[in-house]
């Protein structure tokens, strides 16, 4: 992939209307709709402020959640959930949609910028078109949730053209969405000069740099529940990493593949042969592929379950692995301590439960303690973990896109990046 993309610094935006794709997919309280973390809004501020300082009028857009813009499809999905058909009215559908409005984001963005943020009640409709036409340099307009439009996720050219027609320049700064070929992340770039914002520039520079020219040894830490979701990642890392650490539920598929007993632990039996192939490939390439040597098991998936430590591959029936054991913690932390670059995606266990957080916490502390290494946290649950343990500030870089960062590590082209200059 070409990581060298033109940025907002390389284009004249003075007096121009700039369509800025942000990632305002913020977490919200399910009952009140209140934004529970504004980190993604804060992450967009440097690019927004730069554009305003350069004399641009900013038309920001983003998705939020996964609304269903088609009423009939919404009804079908709700029916599959055994919802009462009598309650599946257009009014009920509309109410569900409104829960994912970007209006609260507009209010928070205004507070952070210290200026008014005009909000459009639609994306490319009459309100958006009128407000975009009247927008002056130095002003900010936020469009409604792009996924309220049927053409967004389909990358519909007609919708992309309508979106582009409101501006003269397109800037993409939503790294968390660039792995999706949607109208607002990729399609619109066909109709406007298209460059990246500072957030995407930093993501490509740090992660792309770590993959292309890492400080050795490069240690990759992979956790999570499924081997199947990390196939491409493991394959690509076997070409560039010095050490790969495996944790989380996916470790039990590797254990079972080698004849181990995994009890009631997470297991993808269909991927055991693949796991053995990866072990052989690692051996052939001289890559250290580290697996747990012991594990913390429990007799139920519960924070109050009975637990004990056993050797890997010796989990009895009725028990399941929920964390790495103390010997594995030492093995993994020693590998991290010697690293020149660390890329981490996925927890070592069920860190959300205090009884089974130790492995993830210990590895996080080891990563944070290695001040000589470039430490990159690749989004998702890994970010949640370092935040939980108050270690985020100790890491070199925390990615804003879990899926996008992993596809970048996997070596996949990112549609929203490929579309840029």
Give the residue extent of every domain in the chain: 8-65+100-199, 206-411
Query: Which residue among the candidates 125, 208, 403, 411 is catalytic per the annotation?
Result: 403
Q: What is the pLDDT of residue 379?
A: 67
Query: Which residue among the candidates 249, 380, 401, 402 is catalytic per the annotation?
Result: 380
Count Cα atoms within 13 angstroms, Cβ side, for 88.
Answer: 16
pLDDT tens, residue order, the chain (421 aa): 566 899 999 999 999 999 999 999 999 998 888 999 999 999 999 999 999 999 999 999 999 999 988 888 888 888 888 888 888 888 888 888 889 999 999 999 999 999 999 999 999 999 999 999 999 999 999 999 999 999 999 999 999 999 999 999 999 999 999 999 999 999 999 999 999 999 999 999 999 999 999 999 999 999 988 888 888 899 999 999 999 999 999 999 999 999 999 999 999 999 999 999 999 999 999 999 999 999 999 999 999 999 999 999 999 999 999 999 999 999 999 999 999 999 999 999 999 999 999 999 999 999 999 999 999 998 678 999 999 999 999 999 999 887 899 899 998 999 999 999 8
Q: What is the pLDDT of residue 75?
A: 84
Q: What is the pLDDT of residue 85?
A: 83
What CATH code is assigned to 206-411? Answer: 3.40.50.1260
71, two tokens: 């009423």
Q: Fold match between 8-65+100-199 and 206-411?
A: yes
Query: Which residue among the candidates 17, 21, 40, 180 is catalytic per the annotation?
Result: 40
Q: What are phi and psi of 270, to 5 degrees?
A: -65, -15
416 carries an active-site annotation: no
Q: What is the pLDDT of residue 87?
A: 86
403 carries an active-site annotation: yes
Partners of 171 in beta bridges: 20, 195
180 carries an active-site annotation: no
Query: Which residue among the candidates 16, 49, 202, 226 is catalytic per the annotation?
Result: 226
Q: What distance in Å separates the CA atoms of residue 323 and residue 358, rounded to the nearest whole number? A: 8
The residue among 280, 288, 285 whose CA lies nearest residue 218 is 288
Q: What is the pLDDT of residue 84?
A: 85
313 carries an active-site annotation: no
Instruction: Report whether CATH 3.30.365.10 matches the domain 8-65+100-199.
Output: no
Q: Classify the C-alpha dihedral 153-224-176-188 as positive or negative.
A: negative
């Amino acid at each position: 992939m070409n990581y060298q993309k033109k940025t907002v610094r390389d284009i004249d935006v003075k007096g121009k209307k700039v369509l800025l794709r942000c990632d305002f997919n913020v977490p919200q309280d399910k009952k009140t709709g209140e934004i529970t973390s504004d980190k993604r809004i804060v992450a967009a501020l440097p690019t927004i402020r730069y554009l305003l300082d350069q004399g641009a009028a900013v038309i920001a857009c983003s998705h939020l959640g996964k609304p269903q813009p088609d009423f009939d499809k919404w009804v079908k999905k709700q029916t599959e959930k055994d919802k009462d058909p009598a309650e599946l009215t257009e009014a009920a559908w509309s109410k569900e949609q409104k829960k994912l409005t970007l209006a609260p984001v507009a209010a928070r963005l205004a507070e952070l910028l210290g200026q008014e943020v005009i909000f459009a009640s639609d994306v490319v409709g009459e309100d958006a078109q009128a407000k975009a036409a009247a927008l002056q340099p130095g002003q900010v307009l936020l469009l409604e949730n792009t996924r309220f439009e049927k053409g967004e996720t389909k990358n519909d050219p007609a919708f992309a053209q309508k979106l582009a027609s409101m501006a003269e320049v397109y800037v993409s700064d939503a790294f968390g969405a660039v792995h999706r070929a949607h109208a607002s992340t990729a399609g619109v770039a066909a109709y406007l000069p298209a460059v990246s914002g500072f957030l995407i520039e930093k993501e490509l520079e740090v992660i792309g740099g770590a993959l292309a020219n890492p400080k050795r040894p490069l240690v990759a830490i992979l956790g999570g529940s499924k081997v199947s979701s990390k196939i491409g990642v493991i394959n690509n890392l076997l070409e560039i990493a010095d050490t790969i650490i495996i944790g989380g539920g996916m470790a039990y598929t590797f254990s079972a593949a080698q004849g181990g007993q995994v009890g009631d632990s997470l297991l993808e039996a269909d991927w055991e042969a693949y796991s053995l192939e990866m072990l052989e490939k690692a051996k052939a390439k001289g890559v250290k592929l580290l697996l747990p040597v012991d594990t913390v098991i429990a007799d139920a998936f519960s924070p109050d379950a009975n637990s004990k430590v056993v050797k890997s591959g010796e989990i009895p029936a009725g028990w399941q692995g929920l964390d790495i054991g103390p010997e594995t913690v030492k093995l993994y932390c020693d590998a991290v301590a010697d690293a020149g670059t660390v890329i981490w995606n996925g927890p070592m266990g069920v860190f959300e439960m205090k009884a089974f957080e130790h492995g993830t916490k210990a590895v996080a502390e080891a990563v944070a303690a290695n001040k000589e290494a470039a430490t990159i946290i690749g989004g998702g649950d890994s970010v949640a973990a370092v935040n939980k343990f108050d270690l985020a500030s100790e890491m070199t870089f925390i990615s804003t896109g879990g899926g996008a960062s992993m596809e970048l590590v996997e070596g996949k082209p990112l549609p929203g990046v490929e579309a840029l200059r």
